[in-house]
Amino acid sequence: MPLVPLRPLLEATDRYGFAQGAFNVNAVAQAKAVIEVHEMFRSAAILQGADLANGFMGGRGDFMNATLEDKQKGAKNIAAAVRKYGEHSPIPIVLHLDHGKDFDSVKAAVDGGYTSVMIDGSSLAFDKNVELTREVVKYAHARGVTVEGELGVLAGVEDHVFSGSSTYTNPMDAVKFFQQTGVDCLAISYGTMHGAAKGKDVKLRREIPIAVKECLRHEGIFGVLVSHGSSTVPRYIVDEINALGGNIQNAYGISAAELKAAIPCGIGKINVDTDIRLAATRNMREYFAAHPEKQASPSIGPIWALLDQKREAFDPRAFLTPIMDTLMYGDIPDSDVADIIGCVERGVKEAVGTLIVEFGSYGKAPLVEQVTLEQMIERYKA
């Protein structure tokens, strides 16, 4: 089936009391692996391309400086990859824009083939955030595309998203935000953080999503809450990276137990990126340690050089730029590149498969109504 909007998945999480993991991808191989592991667990899938992931997939190795043109090209490349591996899948698959920076970035994603988008106006004053989000809702809903907003500020760093401190979401403001914008779901700030350094033993303020959901029910408003910055940062993977020559310090995530406890409080979508990055990076370091002769490979030797040079980094994009065509289009020129892509795919499946089970979406794919964008256009009109 063609890719579906996010809204039917949100409705299923709300009705059946589970959470859907949303997993960031920055390469064709990652998209393939995310789809395959969800199929194995009979779970619907949400693949996320962050705003700057579109820039990276548009061929911009220095993605922090990606232009709108880069993002337009990259959105089409990510969508093409997801369609290639997901269009005939037995499970519902959503392609979601994570942290859309502005209206033009969101438009690039929708026009490129995304079926769901997030507009992040959380750094703006409430009224300006509402204005921007409402504009995105108008454009996206007219095309059957689901919209996620954000209210409250998460501390931490992820691509161009940075804040030194958190501002918790006010439940009453959240209700007004749903009423005034028409968003389908809302990312809230309740104790999570972007990046790998979230601090030890983080306790989430579950009273915030509880209050928001109670107020929404009272007002008769449908709305699912989203947990950003929710990577678990598995300690065993961090330790393995460091044992293989990496230097990852102060890396602590949100425990799976804390995240699972938030699901009954109204959290229906949980965003994860860092876990995937760590697992892929560990696998590449492990590969070169087991096959030192590959450090001189004409095709993947430059990847090893970057791994050796950037010991503090764990984002695979820091190392994989020597094989950009493979990342963007899935081309595999030789067996050495195939080995590296295998490392990436296995890392994705390890991290994602674990969380499909933890969040409870396994076996739930048949519960999600498979709605086309055209059908969703009519529903939004109604």
Q: What is the torsional sign of CA 77, 81, 82, 88?
A: positive
Strands 161-163 and 156-158: antiparallel
What torsion do the CA atoms of 113, 118, 120, 126 make, to the nearest 10 degrees?
130
As a 3-state breakdown, the chain gives helix, strand, coil percent values, each rounded to 5, of 55, 15, 35
Radius of gyration for the chain, computed over Cα atoms and rounded to the nearest angstrom: 20
Distance, in Å, from the CA atom of 258 to the CA atom of 266, rounded to the nearest integer, reads 13
Please pick, among 14, 51, 62, 98, the residue that the annotation labels catalytic: 98
Q: What is the torsional sign of CA 75, 117, 156, 122?
A: positive
**Count of residues for the chain?**
382
| Catalytic (active site) residue 173 | no
Q: Pull the structure tokens for residue 105.
A: 């970035």
| Strand ranges (E), 224-309 | 224-227, 267-272
Q: How many CA atoms lie within 13 A of 289 on its CB side?
A: 15
What torsion do the CA atoms of 194, 196, 197, 202 make, to the nearest 10 degrees?
70
| DSSP state, residue 123 | T
> Residue for token digits 């096959």?
291
Catalytic residues: 98
